Amino acid sequence: MLTSTKPALHKAGPSSLTLEDLVSDESFVWVVYWYESAGFLEGFGKAVARDRNGELWYKYLDHCSCHGVRTERDDDQFRPWHRMSNQDVTEFFNPIHALSSDEDSLIEHVKKLMTQT
């Protein structure tokens, strides 16, 4: 009998989210996110996840004044998870492509988890 395991959730930014905010199933081993809420009306960030096959996925996060952080459950067309290609991974780990210097913590968390698993 297979038992399901919830992904480990790692916060790398200033605002807290729940696992349910980010994923609707248990296909990931871990999820790292950087999210900043700028009050009731605004929020933004990124999330990176590793699936059970070792592949990396990413999604951009934003905010809805009625529902809070936008998740895949709100609108699959709006903020879905995307598999990272080799080029995506290379660009992601290049600090020039970070949205802000604060996102360096997201990159560092992902690097650390990649060496552990």
Residue-wise pLDDT for 66-86, tens only, equals: 666 665 544 444 457 888 887
Q: Is 102 exposed, middle or buried (0-12, 13-18, 19+ CB in 10 A)?
A: middle
The domain spans of the chain are 8-116
pLDDT at 42 over 90: no
Residues in contact with 70: Cβ distance below 8 Å, sequence separation at least 6, in sequence order? 61, 62, 63, 64, 78, 79
Average pLDDT, the chain: 76
Full-model pTM: 0.75
Is the predicted pLDDT of residue 31 greater than 50, yes or no?
yes
**Contact 59/37 with Cβ under 8 angstroms?**
no
